[in-house]
Amino acid sequence: MERLSLTNTAFEGNNNVYLFDDGPETVLIDAGDWDESTKDKLRAELDSHQITFADIDRIFLTHWHRDHTGLAGYIQGESGASVHVHERDAPLVRGDEDAVTALQNLQDGYFEDWGIPTDDRHSLREILNTIQHAVTPPSVDTFTDGDVFTFNSHEMTVVHTSGHADGLCIFEMTLDGESVVFSGDALLPEYTPNVGGADVRVEQPLPKYLQALQRIADADYECAYPGHREPIAQPTRRADEIIAHHHERAINVLTAVQKHAPCDTWTVSLELFGSLEGIHVLHGPGESYAHLEALERQGAVVREGTTYRLTDFGTDLLSQSDHDQFTVDY
């Protein structure tokens, strides 16, 4: 297996594409973003292994986001490769018009509900539309949780880890005698993957993501190969760090609500992340929403229209000196 580090200027650092060319099939995990420079970079990386796009037999996608699926359709056009993705993300990957329209309508509803200013909303929609139209969609084959694929001498198991994206999956494998996982954006070495904004189709996004992290932690893999940046030598430790980060962020969200109540999601986002630009206009309020939604179900905040205020329970939580006793219920 070879890790091919590509380009990515907008998201969580350089994307990884993982190459298996150790047998009769040539297989990729993920396919980079849509940019022409990424295409050139991937072509050069493959060329260093005496492989062309036309040689690719199968592509497995961790999820539908365009920085992971951007070149899948182009490669398929040159090679006829099969492209595999979770059934929940398949309509978006193949560019199904109804699915794309439904997502856009859902996003626009959330943008208004979150209180994103009109100008920022319009700029964000332009960015999202530009990304959507830049990609050549592939035809896809679907998989689901627990499916097993065999290629070359490898057996790869699909684990559905919804949260960051509705159909996000990780791929388990034994590689060189070690239990490893290709973690996509479920587990990243530096950033905490966005929850809430990255895929507004996900219901109860924060609890689902925390469940996914716990599943990774419990598996105790020896190494994780993420969708961005360097491999993760201690995946369980990293998963535990992100879980702890979200419990701490829950307290920060409560503090923001106490300071500004009654306040909307955009106000909480400004308190947590400051002024945001570009695609991050989606991510800041999205993550704030994910926490507010979880805290509302837990009874720490109450929603009135599009604004939130603390409940007595939420106020009591903030008055406690030891916030470590509070966890997001999942």
Do the domains spanning 2-95+134-239 and 246-325 agree at the CATH topology level?
Answer: no
Q: How far apart are CA 106 and CA 201, in angstroms?
A: 8
Q: What percent of the chain has pLDDT over 90?
A: 88
Tell the burial category of 79 from Cβ atoms under 10 Å away from its Cβ (0-12, 13-18, 19+): middle
pLDDT at 170 over 90: yes
**Angle, alpha carbons 95-183-276 (nearest 5°):** 70
pLDDT score of 326: 64
Pick the CATH number of 2-95+134-239 from 3.50.50.60, 3.60.15.10, 3.30.200.20, 3.40.50.150: 3.60.15.10
Strand, coil or helix: 251: helix
Give the pLDDT score at 261.
96
Paired sense of beta strands 301-304 and 307-310, if any? antiparallel
Higher pLDDT: 320 or 104? It is 104
Residue 325 reports pLDDT greater than 90: no
Domain spans, the chain: 2-95+134-239, 246-325
pLDDT > 70 fraction of the chain, expressed in percent and rounded: 95
233: which 2 tokens?
């030598």
Q: Examine the pLDDT at 176 and tell me if it is beyond 90.
A: yes
Q: What is the pLDDT of residue 144?
A: 98
Write down the pLDDT at residue 47. 97
Which residues are CB-contacts of 194 (< 8 A; sequence separation ≥ 6)? 164, 283, 286, 287
Higher pLDDT, 169 or 322: 169
pLDDT at 328 over 80: no
For residue 311, give every residue at least 6 positions away whose Cβ sits within 8 Å of its Cβ, in sequence order, or none: 299, 300, 301, 302
Is residue 78 predicted with pLDDT exceeding 70? yes
Q: What is the pLDDT of residue 134?
A: 85
Q: Indicate if the pLDDT at residue 131 is higher than 90.
A: no
Per DSSP, the residues of 218-232 read HHT-SEEEESBSS-B
Query: What per-residue confidence (pLDDT) applies to 306?
Result: 97
189 three-state secondary structure:
coil
Contact call for residues 175 and 166 (beta carbons, < 8 A): no
Helices 205-219 and 280-298, interaxial angle, to 10°?
90
- DSSP H stretches of helix in the chain: 36-47, 66-69, 72-79, 90-93, 97-114, 118-134, 205-219, 235-260, 265-273, 280-298, 312-319
What residues have CB less than 8 Å from 149, skipping those under 6 apart?
A: 60, 84, 143, 155, 156, 158
For 21, residues 6+ apart whose C-beta sits below 8 A from its C-beta are: 2, 27, 49, 51
Q: Is the pLDDT of residue 133 over 90?
A: no
pLDDT score of 12: 62
- What is the maximum alpha-carbon separation in the chain? 65
d(CA 266, CA 297): 19
Give the C-alpha separation, 284 to 294, whole Å: 16
pLDDT at 323: 67
pTM (two decimals): 0.95
* Residue 101: partners with Cβ closer than 8 Å, 6 or more residues away: none
pLDDT band of residue 71 (cuts 50, 70, 90) is very high
Question: What count of residues does the chain have?
Answer: 330
Q: For residue 325, give the DSSP letter.
A: G
DSSP secondary structure of 45-75: HHHTTT--GGG--EEE-S-S-HHHHTTHHHH
Looking at every residue in the chain, the average pLDDT score rounds to 94
Res 182 pLDDT > 70:
yes
Q: How much is the average pLDDT of 192-217?
A: 97
The pair of structure tokens assigned to 157 is 């198991």
Q: What is the CATH number of domain 246-325?
A: 1.10.10.10
CA nearest neighbour of 75 among 39, 45, 37: 39
Distance CA(308)–CA(268), nearest Å, equals: 10
